[in-house]
Amino acid sequence: MEHSPVVSVIVPVYDNARFLHAALESVAAQDYEPLDIIIVDDGSRDSSRAIAEAFSIRTRNARVLHQQNRGPAAARNRGLEHARGELVTFLDADDEMTQGRLTFQVRYLVDRPEVDAVVGREEITIEPGVEPPLWVRQLPPDRPTYQPVSLMVWRRWFDDVGKFEETYQIGEDTEWLSRFVSRGGRLDRVDRVVLHRRIHGGNLTYRGVGSNLMMTLHARIRERKGRA
């Protein structure tokens, strides 16, 4: 690539010490530079803060922000306030990036100036002894799934669309994408696994994703009716 834009990777964490190290190491193992790694500790009560601080000490271009517990949307927004990158992407503290994800997504966007954001496929792993949630059991066999948190987007779009809606405890990334599309942003889905998603029983989405996603759907329907 002639131009290698800085990528800000925002990792919100709340009481996820069990998986945080693996998540952060999956970022450190990426073959792309320059990176701006921002870990936002959302008031964790376990050893997540210590793990994040240790990672930032030994990893170039990584830093930790701390706040009182305000939820994942607020943690993402805090990271955005401090992001230095032209491009922004995210990783939940209990998931992992696949090898080469950042290089692939950056190249995709740089090579296609008409595309504003890109998401990739996810690979779901169920932790031993955990009952798969209903939404996983309802997935059609062999159907690829795309996770909004795998988003990579040009930073300027957050200036245009606004930040994540902090009243949402889950689905805030889906709600943001719906606003992004409504404002004319082009989102491409690519047939490449970019995210290893872990289901462990403590995920916010384990307990249900329906309510906030339905709120998003109805909000978009009302907007469309208003424009009709």
- Tokens at 129, concatenated: 């002894």
* pLDDT for the residue 40: 98
3-class secondary-structure state, position 72: helix
pLDDT surpasses 70 at 215: no
Q: Could you give the C-alpha distances from 40 to 44, 78, 185, 214, in angstroms and in order?
A: 10, 7, 27, 28
Q: For residue range 53-105, list pLDDT tens digits in order.
A: 999 999 999 999 999 999 999 999 999 999 999 999 999 999 999 999 999 99
**Cβ burial, residue 227 (10 Å; 0-12/13-18/19+):** exposed
Q: Could you give the C-alpha distances from 102 to 4, 140, 150, in angstroms and in order?
A: 11, 28, 10
* pLDDT for the residue 4: 93
Closest CA to 35 of 24, 47, 46, 49: 24
**C-alpha to C-alpha distance for 34 and 87, rounded to whole angstroms:** 11
In the chain, % of residues over pLDDT 90: 68
- Tokens at 52, concatenated: 């994040």
**Ordered structural domains, the chain, with CATH:** 7-227 (3.90.550.10)
- Tokens at 209, concatenated: 């994703």
Average pLDDT, the chain: 85
Residue 219 has phi, psi (to 5 degrees) of -65, -40
